[in-house]
Chain A
Amino acid sequence: MSKKVLVVDDDPDVRLFNVTVVEENGFTPIEASNGEEGLKLLKEEKPDLVILDVLMPRQSGIRLFRDLKTDKSLKHIPVILLSGIAKKTFLRSQKALTEFGGESVPEPEIYLEKPVEPEELSEAINTFIG
């Protein structure tokens, strides 16, 4: 059975792009349109990799990443952050949340800024589960 990749993005066009790249690399995509749905699928499906957007309705990627990396049964899953939000902002927000009393979380494995080329995303995916 092929490895599973959870794609979390609210933009259907971006989701379609990511899903296509995942499939072309021989993996099985699972889709979620916001962080809340993403967290539910993470727990149910235990994917091998997550491709995650940051700015989304219901729950942002910042919160989902934090939930994932502080959950003992999920924290080993690698995450590719794919967003229009700058990496520097993402890291500062995690720092701010830690200062507000949250648990410290590691940096994401890979951070790509939108828009991304298919080759770049393929390479990032294969780094972890190729």
Chain B
Amino acid sequence: MDIRKILFVTKFEELWFDAVESLMDLRKASFNHVVFLNVIEREKVALRRGKGYQKVEEVRLKEMANIRFINWAETLFEKGLEVGAYIVVGSLVKQVVTAAEKEEIDLIVVGYKKKGRIEQFYSSSDILEIIHRSQIPVLVYKYKPDNTIAVEKPFERPLLATGFSKMNQNVIDYLKPMGRVIKKVTIIHVGDPKSLKESSAMGVQKTRKKIRRKLDEQCDLLIAAGIDASPAVYVGTPAKEIVTAAKECNATMVITGTSSKLSLKEKLVGSTPRFLAEKTDIPTLLIPPVK
């Protein structure tokens, strides 16, 4: 699948223009259209006792966002990109899904800033909700504590975490058209320590070899598409091992598939994609199953 059109969701607090600029490498593939979206939270303009709906505040917030978007759009227009913008009042998830559908978006980009526990809970569950409702890949952008961008070229050396399930198969297809953007992909599988409970070292090695062979098959698919790829096997808790692997491989991004349904357990307790969206210092690309 080609990434032609990107929806860039910003509150101007956790995602800035340098994130858009870091994605310019995707132009070597087929990226040519950016749509900006700023969602003004309802509480900021809501009905207040004695004040009513704060229309003046709505206009002020919209115009502030508009001025920012005009500046950003001017830079992108001059590079020959198509640019559109939405500034709306409402709930974040609903407005993102609506804009993504209207614009036939290929990738949604959102920012994620480490916050207090309660805020963190809501923002990361919003991200998963967006994926499950839109069924469009979401790139979660990260900033360093000093607000500088985490990586210059996120698609350069991605780490692909696979569980060999169906939901991971389309991740490979998603990457295939990006041969001119990606330098190297590391595909990892994190094995369950229980599966290595063999009586002999040879038994354990056999399991590792089996996993490795499966990873090689996935690497071959990317190599056939002109993308350098290598496998790596880890053992332990998936989310934690993926974070470790990303550091060891000097990855610029973590990519993983998501399940088709958002279970209650995922919402409340969390899941590997959610952990990655929250805990990695580099961008995380979450890819839903094919519609």
Contact = CB atoms under 8 A, between A and B. Distances in A.
Interface of A: 34, 54-60, 62-63, 84-86, 89-90, 92-93, 96-97, 99-100
Given A55-B70, A57-B102, A92 B86 contact: no
B155 interface: no
B55 to A, nearest CB: 12
A85 B69 CA distance: 10
Given A84-B66, A85-B70, A85-B73, A57 B35 contact: yes
25 contacts: A34-B84, A54-B73, A54-B77, A55-B69, A55-B70, A55-B83, A55-B84, A55-B85, A57-B85, A57-B86, A57-B99, A58-B102, A58-B103, A59-B84, A62-B82, A84-B70, A85-B73, A89-B77, A90-B77, A93-B78, A93-B80, A96-B77, A96-B79, A99-B80, A100-B80
A60 B70 contact: no
A97 B35 CA distance: 18
Contact of A59 (B78, B79, B82, B85): B82
Do most interface residues of chain A lie in helix, strand or loop, or is the interface mixed?
Answer: loop
Interface of B: 35, 66, 69-70, 73-74, 77-80, 82-86, 99, 102-103
Given A57-B35, A57-B84, A60-B84, A93 B70 contact: no
The 8 closest A-B pairs by CB, nearest first: A96-B80, A93-B77, A89-B74, A57-B84, A92-B78, A84-B70, A97-B80, A55-B73
A37 B79 CA distance: 25
Q: Is the interface of B mostly helix, strand, loop or mixed?
A: helix
A97 B82 CA distance: 10
Contacts of B83: 55, 60
B35 A85 contact: no
Contacts of B82: 59-60, 62-63
Given A57-B35, A84-B70, A62 B84 contact: no
Contacts of B74: 85-86, 89
Given A55-B70, A55-B73, A84-B70, A96 B78 contact: yes
Contacts of B84: 34, 55-60
A97 B83 CA distance: 13
A92 B81 CA distance: 11
A54 B83 CA distance: 9
Nearest to A102: B80
A89 B83 CA distance: 12
Given A55-B70, A57-B35, A85-B70, A62 B86 contact: no
A73 to B, nearest CB: 23
Contacts of B99: 57
A57 B69 CA distance: 12
Given A90-B77, A93-B80, A57 B103 contact: yes
